[in-house]
């Protein structure tokens, strides 16, 4: 009996743990399997959603990043510190990984698997079109930074040899981008409202015009300058073809009549309001935009920094001067210095293109719920409370919101990604570059002028041949088109790309030094006294009394009657050190050359 | 921390060097000086006359002299520890029960931090039948941690370090300012973690036939943790005394508060069944055979929910909120299963030989790569059993030589599911998840499948070990010495580097071999002077070093970051520096070199000279390949070498004193570019000035330790600190240390007193931790907290801790 008991005991114990074969098969529990993935249109949608996260947004810190502040890496705005790239101070050690390929891999995975999906063909087409659009988006980012890159359209294996691929000519890459966009244009239906917040046909067309114009002008002007950045065997016909594609894509949008310039008939407000309207749904000018909602902690910080007095950023004199007078003539000569003598007058919509006073802070305008823009610029303040040039940026400030002006990440003004104004500008520029009728160019730009109550474009009247004007040697039509673009798109993150594709760093950047407001010769200097508004933080320049030191720089010598704020004088005595035969493209990491066995080569000059 | 005037002067020097501007005007410096000398009657905030918190920016505004560390840190913290135990039984059944209580207060002045823990252990063993024995061991612990850091602990320490001393923690009415962070610590925000752990180890031991044993053990661990997070905004006061509710966005506190709960649980079950048989042949030959089976299953689950906009701050709840809600979950599991066998043989207990084998499978690997066989062998020789030693060396009690060789499998380095291709999904939460608003609001998104490797398998650890155990002088002296080599084959080394066109991080592969060689020595002496006084002391000394012996990096790229064959674990690459640039001529000489790799800015007096080691006229990393590293060379090693501990105790009657010293004999620490604690200067918002940083170069202070300070906005700072903050031998820190880790004074109450109250033992004790430290490391760091936190040094302080306690045994 005892024996049987023992055997029963032992047998039951072993039985309890006897093997189930699948004990060690432990599939993940809380993630999606790739087996049979992307099988429904809903999965396609959620998958494509990841790419929307890559669209640029507004800055969460002060500095030179985000849509609103990234013009501070150009001649439009500056921060306290000199931009490393413009100053030729980038080094090989700054070379970054080509992280765009991560998203490109993701798109390629989609393209390899979307056919698993059944269901509504219209939806499948929409998401397939979006995927093509985004692949174009990521490659465009790569060619702008690096020029020639490898066109990859499959999901590569994790293998050192299989990834040894040479760089393709940028022309090959751009043609592939345009082909992707053509597919997207064909697949995605047109809509006449932006409320869906997804990429639609006209966005793809607008992006196509942006890419084709970029490449057409890049090749044209770098070829003209005979620098190392154009594609050596490119023909003038090929260049003209890019410009024609840019024109044609824009024209398709224009003739559709689905979009128009936003106006309510208030030339002094409409342009500015476009950037501070929290909900742009239904706006006829805005084709694609990024929404924010600080209540859900999805916000940015523009208003906090700009409402402190400048956020340590400033609009340059060069941009302020480029706005035409209210009568549509260049802002030069005696009229200019006369206006500058009283701070704020040179910004006034009475004298200047009203877009200026809706872009740069004008004394007396609301800044916070309880404060207005001070009568004199906060150039004597420190940190965020200071404006580097004396022209604080005003676009985007939510002056009515206490929380937005108080704290980081509480600003909610939208980031506009594609608007109809750019389509008109692309159209006008492509036509100007193709040498088409100036009257048609002027006609294309007319709605932009009409919104702000400016006279229509007149290429002769507004031609600026002032000896100090950077683009004085340009064709009248092209000069005008470029000015209109700079003014209309100021502080929207487009300027550096424009300078680079025009191969214009030689006249705009290299050896130049950005300036600020007129100081000596204006009423600002009068405040820099023991009884003036600057009495708590006096500015010393040229000479300082004993025990004090010079902390502020002005152009010219002590005798000069007109002296402008010259923020970089001490740190940049010879102007920006931009290297014209190197800095148009970024360096490539050494490891790329090694890992591809020399199939990748370094960019020119690096 | 430096005072406000020192800070302002440092800051001015740093911005002037980089930007040509100064934030603190001459007038402001004078006010700061005056405030330090005599603050009476001065306005702490001449710039503003409102308590609007945006005015209290961490800026040059304000005239105060705040030592932010002294404001927030207490000099010490207190612990309590109490234990009770009970044991007893009879011939067939024995039990032991003990319980304890431990509590620790935090070392923050305004943050109420509290930790307490209860534990209960019970063990019973019983001989149920002559052939069946049952044992059960239960351990239960329950702990609770509360603090007001509802998710912003790292940011708090990060912010504390970069607060400027000229900013006052009090406003114009002596209320706390927003910048003081005190309103957030005292708002009622609470993060709380309740954790319970139950571990049960039960076993049955059968002996159906003499010397044949069968053991059936079951190891079960269940732990649950509940985290609750109540976030409430802080309150500051306006100039008119009216309260203003504030919520700093980086702390992610919604203005109307939020409440969240996260329930985590994990369960571990491991049956272990083995059977052994021992036999003795002709008296002298002992043989043990053992075979067994073991499996493990671990399951983890968590479910978290948060809601914002509380209806009532005093009664927070997920369904007592009106704002948006977010839910997330996580579930994982892993399992192993295996069989093992052992054959041991001894001859007269003098010669020992053992053969081991394990055959293991793991759920972390795909079916085809799942199983591994790991054999090992060991042998020993008890010399003290030899009669020639017993007769001739009488003072030697014990001497054993032993050696082993074999393989072990390791699966813990492998990701739970790295063999499978899966896609993650991100759902929107409060301030988290996708940031794009679609027509109907934010949506979830699926991400591309992560890289995976279906062939991932066991790491095989090949061990070889020779050792010696000895005892002498009636075992007053005992010790052991071991020397070993551990060769990890098919190690899951860092992912191989491939060209960026691949577009992902390559998956883990069994791509490396790592060889570790080391030794350990321990010695102890236990002595007694008379019947009342006994003492002991001893020490441990150990060292090891690991070298990569196989890795897939054919061109030996990036030897600083990546692995290569011959790389020593922890090696630090850096430049050699002969010192600082002392004059314009020396600067010109350096500027003739191509230093654009470090910074294209010209060097000036006070910047750091980096040596052109390979004399090619360029200061750079060469092609960043081993053998062509330009001017970089190995300047040190961050791994701890020669770790040691020393202990000693003396007891006199019931009173005893014991201490433990521990230390590291050799270790280097290289402050990285922009480690604010070490360098002081950096981007504008990160400047952190300690007294040590004031010793920076000026023409009047040419022998300074620190170079020119530079401060500028984030985007441009690297081009300045590239001239001064490169990793170099000049700023390499010696992180070796010796620390009095613990000192305890214990008193056992006399037995005669104790027995009167029917107890068997009562003791009271007092102990102190981290009382003394000897190190050459820069003073702003603690040698034990160099790693962790937001950046080196920015971590909950390791303070001196005093504790007292009481133990009772029945």
| φ/ψ bin of A190: left (φ > 0), alpha (ψ from -120 to 50), beta (otherwise) | beta
- Split at pLDDT 50, 70, 90, the class of A13 is low
Is 70 exceeded by the pLDDT of residue A17?
no
Residue A438, SS3 per DSSP: helix
Is 90 exceeded by the pLDDT of residue B468?
yes
- pLDDT attached to residue B651: 93
CA of A520 to nearest chain B CA: how many angstroms apart? 19
Residues A37, B435: C-beta atoms closer than 8 Å: no
CA of A400 to nearest chain B CA: how many angstroms apart? 16
- pLDDT attached to residue B74: 84
Contacts of A62 in chain B (CB under 8 A): 713
- pLDDT attached to residue B55: 64
Contacts of A63 in chain B (CB under 8 A): 713-715
Q: Which tokens is B4 given?
A: 């406000």
Spell out the residues 6+ positions from residue A113 whose beta carbon is closer than 8 angstroms to its own. Answer: A37, A38
Is residue A266 within 8 A of residue A453, CB to CB? The reply is no
Q: Is B209 on the interface with A (CB under 8 A)?
A: no
- pLDDT attached to residue B555: 85
pLDDT digits (tens, 9 = 90+) for A179-188: 999 999 999 9
pLDDT digits (tens, 9 = 90+) for B282-323: 888 999 999 999 999 999 999 999 998 999 988 999 999 998
- pLDDT attached to residue A541: 87
Q: In chain A, whose CA is at the least distance from the CA of B507?
A: A158
- pLDDT attached to residue A2: 54
Residues A159, B498: C-beta atoms closer than 8 Å: yes
CA dihedral A487, A493, A497, A500 (to 10 degrees): 70
Residue of B501, B708, B484 whose CA lies nearest to B601:
B708
Residues B421, A33: C-beta atoms closer than 8 Å: yes
- Split at pLDDT 50, 70, 90, the class of B779 is confident
pLDDT digits (tens, 9 = 90+) for A394-406: 999 999 998 898 8
- pLDDT attached to residue B485: 97
Averaged over B330-344, what is the pLDDT? 95
Averaged over B80-104, what is the pLDDT? 90
The A residues from 403 to 442 touching B (CB cutoff 8 Å) are 403, 405-410
Nearest to B623 among A102, A383, A590 (CB): A590
Size of interface A-B (CB pairs under 8 A): 312
- Split at pLDDT 50, 70, 90, the class of B395 is confident
pLDDT digits (tens, 9 = 90+) for A85-102: 999 988 888 899 999 999
Is residue B252 within 8 A of residue B308, CB to CB? The reply is no
- pLDDT attached to residue B538: 95
Averaged over B620-626, what is the pLDDT? 90
Residues A49, B449: C-beta atoms closer than 8 Å: no
∠ Cα A579 A581 A582 (to 5°) = 65
- pLDDT attached to residue B725: 96
Q: Taking the alpha carbons of A144, A146, A147, A153 in that order, is the dihedral positive or negative?
A: negative
Is residue B782 within 8 A of residue B742, CB to CB? The reply is no
- pLDDT attached to residue B53: 62
Dist CA A39 CA A119 (whole Å): 9
Is 70 exceeded by the pLDDT of residue A192?
yes
Is 60 exceeded by the pLDDT of residue A10?
no
Contacts of A93 in chain B (CB under 8 A): 597-598, 620-621, 722
Q: In chain B, whose CA is at the least distance from the CA of A588?
A: B500
- Average pLDDT for chain B: 91
- pLDDT attached to residue B797: 65
pLDDT digits (tens, 9 = 90+) for B269-278: 999 999 999 9
Q: In chain B, whose CA is at the least distance from the CA of A27?
A: B417
SS3 string, A70-101, reads: HHHHCCCEEECCCCCCCCCCCCHHHCCCCCHH
Q: Is A47 on the interface with B (CB under 8 A)?
A: yes
CA of B702 to nearest chain A CA: how many angstroms apart? 22
Contacts of A290 in chain B (CB under 8 A): 436-437
Angle between helices A236-256 and A170-187 (to 10 degrees): 20
Q: Is B273 on the interface with A (CB under 8 A)?
A: yes
- Split at pLDDT 50, 70, 90, the class of A33 is confident
- Split at pLDDT 50, 70, 90, the class of A496 is very high
Residue of A218, A61, A79 whose CA lies nearest to A87:
A79
Spell out the residues 6+ positions from residue B14 whose beta carbon is closer than 8 angstroms to its own. Answer: B681, B687, B709, B710, B711
Instruction: List alpha helices for B80-167, DSSP H.
Output: 153-162
**Quick count: other Cβ atoms within 10 Å of Cβ B284?**
11
Averaged over A174-203, what is the pLDDT? 97
- pLDDT attached to residue B798: 66
Give whole-number Cα distances, A150 to A94, A134, A211, A281, B502, in Å: 21, 17, 18, 38, 11
- pLDDT attached to residue B245: 86
Residue A391, SS3 per DSSP: coil
- Split at pLDDT 50, 70, 90, the class of A331 is very high
- pLDDT attached to residue A215: 98
Contacts of A96 in chain B (CB under 8 A): none
- Split at pLDDT 50, 70, 90, the class of A76 is very high
Nearest to A595 among B21, B363, B499 (CB): B499
Of A460-469, B255-264, B757-766, the range with the lowest mean pLDDT is: B757-766
Nearest to B437 among A16, A62, A197 (CB): A197
Q: Which tokens is A595 given?
A: 């890992």
Candidates B21, B336, B503, partner chain A, best to mutate (most A CBs within 10 A)? B503
B592: exposed, middle or buried (C-beta count within 10 Å: 0-12, 13-18, 19+)? exposed
Residues A198, B363: C-beta atoms closer than 8 Å: no
Dist CA B175 CA B188 (whole Å): 17
- Split at pLDDT 50, 70, 90, the class of A295 is confident
Contacts of B443 in chain A (CB under 8 A): 45-46, 49
Q: In chain B, whose CA is at the least distance from the CA of A547?
A: B26
CA of A194 to nearest chain B CA: how many angstroms apart? 9
Residues A105, B448: C-beta atoms closer than 8 Å: yes
| Range B328-343 burial, b when 16+ CB lie within 10 A, else e | beeebbbbbbbbbebe
Is 90 exceeded by the pLDDT of residue A335?
yes
Nearest to B20 among A45, A90, A571 (CB): A571
Q: Is B320 on the interface with A (CB under 8 A)?
A: no
User: Of B684 and A19, which is predicted with more confidence?
Assistant: B684
Candidates B233, B300, B435, partner chain A, best to mutate (most A CBs within 10 A)? B435
- pLDDT attached to residue B790: 61
pLDDT digits (tens, 9 = 90+) for A113-167: 999 999 999 999 999 999 999 999 999 999 999 999 999 999 999 888 899 999 9
B349: exposed, middle or buried (C-beta count within 10 Å: 0-12, 13-18, 19+)? exposed
- pLDDT attached to residue B152: 81
Of A20-24, A189-193, A295-299, B284-288, the range with the lowest mean pLDDT is: A20-24
pLDDT digits (tens, 9 = 90+) for B575-602: 999 999 999 999 999 999 999 889 888 9
- Split at pLDDT 50, 70, 90, the class of B491 is very high
Percent of chain A residues topping a pLDDT of 90: 79
- pLDDT attached to residue B203: 95
**Quick count: other Cβ atoms within 10 Å of Cβ A441?**
23
Instruction: List alpha helices for A287-437, DSSP H.
Output: 302-306, 317-322, 333-340, 402-406, 420-433
Is 60 exceeded by the pLDDT of residue B724?
yes
CA of A429 to nearest chain B CA: how many angstroms apart? 32
Residues B600, A88: C-beta atoms closer than 8 Å: yes
Is 60 exceeded by the pLDDT of residue B150?
yes
Is 80 exceeded by the pLDDT of residue A537?
no
Q: Is A191 on the interface with B (CB under 8 A)?
A: no
- pLDDT attached to residue B297: 96
Is 80 exceeded by the pLDDT of residue B615?
yes
Residues B443, A49: C-beta atoms closer than 8 Å: yes
Q: Is B723 on the interface with A (CB under 8 A)?
A: no
Residues B446, A32: C-beta atoms closer than 8 Å: yes
- Split at pLDDT 50, 70, 90, the class of A34 is confident
Candidates B498, B553, B727, partner chain A, best to mutate (most A CBs within 10 A)? B498
pLDDT digits (tens, 9 = 90+) for A199-258: 999 999 999 999 999 999 999 999 999 999 999 999 999 999 999 999 999 999 999 999
Averaged over A48-53, what is the pLDDT? 96
Residue of B60, B67, B36, B54 whose CA lies nearest to B171:
B54
Spell out the residues 6+ positions from residue A223 whose beta carbon is closer than 8 angstroms to its own. Answer: A230, A234, A239
DSSP class of residue A577 equals -
- pLDDT attached to residue A443: 97
Residue of B147, B141, B134 whose CA lies nearest to B106:
B147
Q: What are phi and psi of B449, to 5 degrees?
A: -55, 135
Q: Is B368 on the interface with A (CB under 8 A)?
A: no
Is 60 exceeded by the pLDDT of residue B568?
yes
Percent of chain B residues topping a pLDDT of 90: 61
The B residues from 82 to 121 touching A (CB cutoff 8 Å) are none
Q: Is A153 on the interface with B (CB under 8 A)?
A: no
- pLDDT attached to residue A540: 85
Is residue A61 within 8 A of residue A76, CB to CB? The reply is no
- Average pLDDT for chain A: 93
pLDDT digits (tens, 9 = 90+) for A409-457: 889 999 999 999 999 999 999 999 999 999 999 999 999 999 999 999 9
Spell out the residues 6+ positions from residue B757 whose beta carbon is closer than 8 angstroms to its own. Answer: none
Dist CA B215 CA B233 (whole Å): 58
Contacts of B447 in chain A (CB under 8 A): 50, 106
Contacts of B552 in chain A (CB under 8 A): 160
Averaged over B321-335, what is the pLDDT? 90
């Amino acid at each position: 009996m005892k024996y049987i008991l023992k055997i029963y005991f032992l047998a039951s114990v072993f039985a309890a743990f006897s093997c189930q074969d699948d004990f060690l098969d432990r599939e993940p529990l809380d993630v999606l399997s790739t087996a049979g993935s992307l099988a429904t249109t809903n999965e396609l949608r959620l998958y494509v959603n990841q790419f929307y996260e890559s669209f640029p947004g507004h800055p969460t810190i002060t500095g030179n990043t985000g849509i609103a502040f990234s013009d501070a890496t150009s001649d439009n705005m500056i921060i306290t510190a000199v931009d490393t790239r413009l100053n030729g101070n980038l080094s090989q050690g700054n070379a970054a990984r080509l992280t765009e390929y991560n998203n490109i891999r993701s798109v390629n995975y989609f393209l390899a698997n979307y056919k698993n999906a059944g269901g509504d063909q219209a939806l499948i087409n929409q998401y397939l079109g979006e995927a093509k659009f985004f692949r174009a988006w990521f490659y465009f980012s790569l060619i702008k930074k690096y020029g020639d890159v490898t066109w990859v359209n499959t999901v590569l294996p994790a293998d050192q040899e299989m990834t040894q691929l040479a760089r393709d000519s940028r022309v090959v890459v751009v043609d592939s981008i345009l082909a992707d966009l053509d597919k997207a244009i064909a697949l995605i239906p047109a809509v006449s409202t932006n409320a869906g917040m997804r990429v639609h046909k006209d966005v793809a067309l607008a992006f196509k015009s942006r890419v084709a114009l970029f490449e057409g002008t890049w090749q044209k002007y770098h070829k003209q300058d005979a620098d190392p950045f154009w594609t050596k065997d490119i023909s003038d016909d090929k260049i003209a073809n890019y410009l024609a594609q840019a024109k044609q894509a824009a024209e398709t949008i224009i003739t559709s009549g689905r979009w128009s310039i936003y106006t309510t008939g208030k030339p002094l407000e409409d342009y500015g309001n476009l950037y501070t309207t929290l909900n742009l749904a239904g706006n006829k000018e805005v084709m694609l935009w990024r929404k924010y909602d600080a209540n859900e902690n999805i916000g940015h910080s523009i208003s906090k920094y700009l409402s402190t007095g400048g956020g340590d950023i400033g609009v340059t004199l060069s941009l302020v001067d480029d706005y035409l007078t209210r009568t549509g003539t260049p802002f030069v000569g005696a009229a200019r210095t006369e206006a500058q003598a009283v701070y704020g007058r040179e910004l006034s919509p009475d004298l200047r293109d009203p877009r200026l006073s809706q872009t740069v802070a004008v004394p007396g305008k609301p800044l916070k719920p309880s404060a207005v823009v001070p009568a004199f610029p906060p150039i004597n303040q420190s940190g965020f409370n200071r404006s580097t040039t004396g022209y604080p940026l005003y676009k985007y400030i939510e002056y009515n919101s206490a929380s937005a002006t108080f704290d980081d990440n509480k600003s909610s003004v939208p980031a506009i990604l594609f608007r109809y104004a750019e389509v008109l500008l692309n159209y006008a520029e492509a036509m100007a570059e193709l040498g088409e009728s100036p009257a048609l160019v002027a006609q294309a730009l007319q709605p932009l002028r009409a919104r702000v109550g400016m006279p229509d474009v007149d290429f002769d009247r507004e031609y600026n041949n002032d000896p100090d004007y950077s683009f004085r040697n340009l064709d009248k039509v092209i000069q005008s088109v470029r000015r209109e673009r700079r003014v209309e798109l100021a502080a929207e993150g487009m300027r550096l790309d424009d300078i680079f594709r025009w191969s214009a760093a030689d006249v705009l950047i290299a050896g130049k030094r950005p300036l600020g407001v007129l100081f000596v010769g204006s009423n600002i200097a009068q405040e820099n006294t023991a009884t003036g508004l600057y009495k708590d933080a006096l500015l010393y320049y040229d000479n300082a009394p004993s025990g004090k030191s010079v902390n502020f720089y002005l152009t010219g010598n002590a005798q000069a009657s007109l002296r402008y704020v010259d923020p970089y004088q001490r740190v940049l005595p010879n102007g920006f050190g931009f290297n014209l035969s190197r800095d148009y493209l970024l360096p490539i990491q050494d490891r790329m050359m090694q890992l591809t066995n020399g199939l990748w080569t370094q960019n020119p000059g690096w | 921390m430096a005072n406000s005037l020192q800070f302002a002067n440092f800051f001015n020097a740093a911005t002037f060097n980089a930007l040509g501007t100064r934030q603190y005007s001459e007038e402001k410096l004078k006010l700061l000086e005056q405030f330090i000398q005599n603050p009476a009657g001065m306005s702490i905030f001449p710039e503003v006359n409102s308590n609007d918190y945006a005015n209290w920016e961490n800026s040059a505004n304000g005239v105060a002299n705040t030592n932010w560390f002294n404001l927030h840190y207490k000099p010490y913290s207190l612990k309590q520890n109490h234990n009770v135990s009970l044991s007893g039984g009879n011939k067939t059944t024995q039990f032991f029960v003990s319980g304890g209580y431990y509590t620790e207060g935090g070392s923050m002045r305004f943050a109420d931090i509290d930790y307490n823990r209860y534990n209960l252990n019970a063990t019973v063993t019983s001989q149920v039948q002559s052939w069946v024995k049952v044992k059960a061991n239960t351990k239960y612990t329950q702990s609770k941690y509360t603090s007001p850091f509802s998710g912003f602990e790292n940011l708090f320490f990060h912010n504390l370090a970069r607060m400027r001393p000229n900013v006052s923690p009090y406003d114009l009415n002596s209320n706390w300012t927003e910048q003081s962070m005190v309103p957030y610590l005292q708002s009622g925000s609470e993060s709380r973690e309740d954790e319970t752990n139950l571990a049960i180890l039960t076993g049955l031991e059968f002996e159906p036939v003499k010397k044949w044993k069968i053991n059936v053990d079951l190891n079960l661990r269940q732990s649950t943790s509940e985290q609750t997070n109540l976030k409430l905004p802080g309150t500051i006061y306006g100039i008119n005394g009216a309260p203003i509710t504030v919520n700093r966005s980086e702390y992610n506190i919604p203005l109307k508060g939020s409440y969240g709960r996260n329930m985590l649980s994990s369960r571990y079950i491991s049956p272990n069944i083995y059977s052994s048989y021992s036999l003795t042949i002709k008296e002298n030959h002992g043989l043990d055979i053992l075979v067994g089976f073991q499996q493990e299953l671990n399951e983890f689950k968590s479910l978290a929910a948060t809601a914002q906009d509380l209806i009532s701050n005093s009664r927070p709840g997920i369904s007592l909120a009106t704002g948006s809600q977010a839910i997330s979950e996580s579930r994982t599991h892993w399992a192993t299963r295996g069989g093992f066998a052992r054959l041991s043989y001894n001859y007269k207990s003098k010669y020992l030989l053992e053969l081991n084998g394990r055959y293991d499978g793991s759920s972390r690997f795909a079916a085809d790569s799942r199983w591994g066989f790991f054999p090992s062998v060991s042998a020993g020789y008890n010399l003290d059993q030899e009669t020639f030693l017993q007769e001739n060396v009488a003072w030697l009690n014990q001497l054993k030589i032993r050696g082993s060789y074999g393989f072990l499998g390791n699966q813990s380095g492998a990701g739970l599911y790295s063999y499978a291709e899966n896609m993650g999904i991100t759902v929107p939460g409060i301030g988290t998840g996708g940031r794009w608003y679609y027509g109907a609001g934010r949506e979830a998104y699926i991400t591309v499948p992560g890289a995976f490797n279906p062939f991932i398998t066991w790491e095989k650890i090949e061990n070889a070990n020779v050792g010696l155990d000895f005892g002498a002088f009636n075992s007053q002296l005992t010790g052991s010495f071991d020397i070993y080599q551990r060769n990890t084959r098919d190690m899951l080394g860092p992912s191989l580097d491939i060209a960026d066109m691949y577009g992902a991080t390559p998956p883990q592969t069994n791509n490396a071999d790592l060889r570790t060689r080391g030794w350990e020595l321990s010695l102890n002496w236990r002595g007694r002077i008379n019947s009342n006084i006994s003492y002991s002391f001893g020490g441990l000394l150990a060292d090891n070093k690991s070298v990569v012996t196989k890795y897939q990096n054919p061109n030996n790229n990036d030897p600083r970051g990546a692995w290569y064959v011959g790389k020593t674990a922890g090696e630090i690459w850096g430049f050699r520096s002969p010192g600082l640039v002392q004059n314009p001529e020396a600067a010109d000489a350096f500027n003739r070199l191509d230093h654009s790799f470090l910074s294209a800015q010209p060097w000036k007096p006070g910047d750091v000279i980096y040596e052109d080691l390979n004399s090619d006229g360029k200061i750079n990393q060469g092609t960043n390949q081993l053998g062509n590293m330009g001017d970089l060379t190995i300047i040190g090693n961050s791994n701890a070498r020669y770790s040691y501990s020393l202990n000693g105790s003396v007891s006199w009657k019931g009173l005893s004193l014991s201490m433990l010293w521990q230390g590291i004999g050799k270790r280097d620490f290289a402050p990285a570019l922009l480690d604010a604690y070490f360098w002081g200067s950096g981007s504008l918002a990160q400047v952190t000035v300690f007294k040590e940083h004031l010793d920076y170069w000026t023409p009047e202070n040419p022998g300074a330790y620190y170079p020119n300070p530079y401060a500028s906005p984030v985007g441009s700072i690297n081009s300045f600190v590239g001239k001064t903050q490169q990793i170099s031998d000049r700023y390499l820190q010696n992180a070796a240390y010796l620390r009095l880790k613990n000192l305890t004074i214990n008193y056992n109450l006399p037995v005669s007193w104790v027995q009167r109250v029917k107890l068997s033992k009562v003791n009271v004790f007092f102990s102190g931790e981290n009382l003394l430290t000897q190190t050459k490391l820069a003073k702003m760091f603690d040698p034990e907290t160099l790693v962790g936190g937001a950046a080196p040094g920015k971590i909950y302080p390791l303070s001196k801790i005093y504790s007292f306690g009481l133990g009772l045994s029945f």
